[in-house]
Structure 1
Amino acid sequence: MNIDTKLSIHAALEAGSRAGIPQPSLNRLPQYHHYLAELNSKGISRVSCSLIGTDLNLVPVQVRKDLQYTGIVGKPKTGYSVPELIQAIESFLGWNNVNEAFLVGAGNLGTALLGHERFSNFGLSIVAAFDADPEKIGQWIHGKAVLPLEKLADLAQRMSIHLGIITAPAEFAQAIADEMVRGGIQALWNFAPVRLKVPAHIIVHNEDLYSSLASLSWKLARRYRVPIQQDGGFH
């Protein structure tokens, strides 16, 4: 799953919760969107659940159920209008409303996210970065200023920032989350390998890169029948 897909899932969590959409269905909506955008670029104006299912290796009945959460209804025999279906998915996922965000942790990962130009296509605009390292404060990274962490809460309140991104080391993540919550931030996209303790109303999406790598390594090892050590390494 690429970073754009993960972002779109995160952006849809609150809307999906209100709509009662199951997480697997929510995970598939960005996949449909990417597929439909490709069809649209080829001038294909209509599509059926059967065709989507065949091309994406999914059961057509499941595709139909997933798409129903967006509120769109297909027509018998003719299926869906591709442009209308794209718009329905974008509206459901909230991509039509750009969310401004603060990022904390201007290291390698934070720098990569700050430079990711396609975020604007998925409803996200990182407007500023924060760090506690004096050597990083005052720098500009991909056109974004790096500010002192102690200014985050006040600026978040003044600018009505509701989304925070944590790319700092695990030992600092909880303190950063506390500062974000103090500033009125409602949703956290957490890349630090730690589970955050936040009030019940705060939305948290944990991006566990290490778990993903462990899963990938395990599957690769099984494919080539490489014995796996108890600690997760290879013999």
Structure 2
Amino acid sequence: MISKATIDRLPLYFRALRLMQREEVEIVSSEELGKRLGITPEQIRKDLASFGQFGKKGVGYYVRELLRNIGDILGLHYNWNFAIVGVGHLGWALSNYRNFTSLGFNFAAIFDVDPDKIGLHINGAQVFHVNEMEKIVREKNIHIGIIAVPEAHAQAVADKLVASGIRGIWNFAPRKITVPNSVYIINEDLSVGLSSLSYYLSRRITK
């Protein structure tokens, strides 16, 4: 079974390879890739070997080919459609994040309950009332829902997304959400990240 740590490193490889492609780098070794990412060459080779044979011994990896292979492993070729729920500060920022599109994710819709926001267009996507979620998810073939609502409303929003047919949820609300086993969820608690950073910084100060 492939470890979560290995899977979590794949997007890092993908991002670095995309940058190399823009720099017109044609071949890269695991040593060079490792230097860019702060990951050992051995770990990179082990991670990639989990998915097959890539590159040529003594030559390295062909950037364009490896980029395509990792993109396929990550499923980016499916061009997933996603929707955001919540047009607060975070929802607004996520709506305007350009890299989603460059990765192949299609921003299809936004949902909110504020009558002043319904009908607005943000970065090409229309804001719909949450009561229209099931209809819009079906019409626009939306696969992923991003929760950017206050903590108190997160579970209700998740329930509504699941009922609408969403297959994956990216949750930014700082609480644990329960979903059926058929729905995959990623929790992105910003407070946890900051608290972890605080921990490491405090250790340096006390030394």
Query: Given the two structures, how large is their TM-score scaled by the length of structure 2?
Result: 0.92
Q: Distance in 2 between matches of 1:41 and 1:131?
A: 38
Q: After TM superposition, give the deviation of residue 207 of structure 1 in Å.
A: 0.5
Please give the secondary structure, in 1, of the residue aligned with 2:78.
Answer: coil
Q: 1:134 to 1:41 in 2, by over 3 A?
A: closer
Q: Is residue 118 of structure 2 the alignment partner of residue 125 of structure 1?
A: no
Q: Which amino acid aligns with 2:13?
A: Y
Which residue number in structure 2 is paired with residue 61 of structure 1?
A: 42
Which residue number in structure 1 is paired with residue 185 of structure 2?
A: 204
Please list the CA deviations of residues 85-133 of structure 1 after superposition, one character each: whole Å capped at 9, or x if unmatched. Answer: 1111111112222111121101110011111112112231221111112
1:178 to 137, 152, 159: 159
Which residue number in structure 1 is paired with residue 93 of structure 2?
A: 112
Q: Is residue 170 of structure 2 the alignment partner of residue 195 of structure 1?
A: no
Which residue number in structure 1 is paired with residue 124 of structure 2?
A: 143
Identify the range of structure 1 (34-43 vs 142-151) with the bigger mean alpha-carbon deviation.
34-43
The percent of aligned pairs where both chains have the same amino acid is: 38
Work out whether residues 49 and 60 of structure 1, in 8 Å CA contact, stay in contact via their aligned partners in 2.
yes
Please give the secondary structure, in 2, of the residue aligned with 1:96.
Answer: helix
Query: Given the two structures, how large is their TM-score scaled by the length of structure 1?
Result: 0.81
Q: Is residue 115 of structure 2 the alignment partner of residue 134 of structure 1?
A: yes
1:77 to 58, 64, 72: 58
Which residue number in structure 2 is paired with residue 216 of structure 1?
A: 197
Work out whether residues 71 and 88 of structure 1, in 8 Å CA contact, stay in contact via their aligned partners in 2.
no
Please give the secondary structure, in 1, of the residue aligned with 2:76.
Answer: coil
Which residue number in structure 2 is paired with residue 42 of structure 1?
A: 23
Count of aligned pairs: 207
Q: Is residue 135 of structure 2 the alignment partner of residue 154 of structure 1?
A: yes
Please list the CA deviations of residues 124-182 of structure 1 after superposition, one character each: whole Å capped at 9, or x if unmatched. Answer: 12211111122222222233221111110122123322211110001111111111111
Identify the range of structure 1 (38-47 vs 127-136) with the bigger mean alpha-carbon deviation.
38-47
- Give the 5 Å matches for 1:93-104: 93-104=74-85
Q: 1:55 to 1:174 in 2, by over 3 A?
A: closer
Runs of 5+ unmatched residues, structure 2:
none
Deviating runs (4+, > 6 A) in structure 1? none
RMSD: 1.8
Runs of 5+ unmatched residues, structure 1:
1-19, 227-235
Work out whether residues 108 and 142 of structure 2, in 8 Å CA contact, stay in contact via their aligned partners in 1.
no
Which residue number in structure 2 is paired with residue 231 of structure 1?
A: none
Q: After TM superposition, give the deviation of residue 72 of structure 1 in Å.
A: 4.1
Q: Distance in 1 between matches of 2:203 and 2:153?
A: 36
Q: 1:43 to 1:148 in 2, by over 3 A?
A: closer
Q: After TM superposition, give the deviation of residue 70 of structure 1 in Å.
A: 4.1
1:91 to 57, 67, 72: 72
Identify the range of structure 1 (203-212 vs 81-90) with the bigger mean alpha-carbon deviation.
81-90
Identify the range of structure 1 (71-80 vs 177-186) with the bigger mean alpha-carbon deviation.
71-80
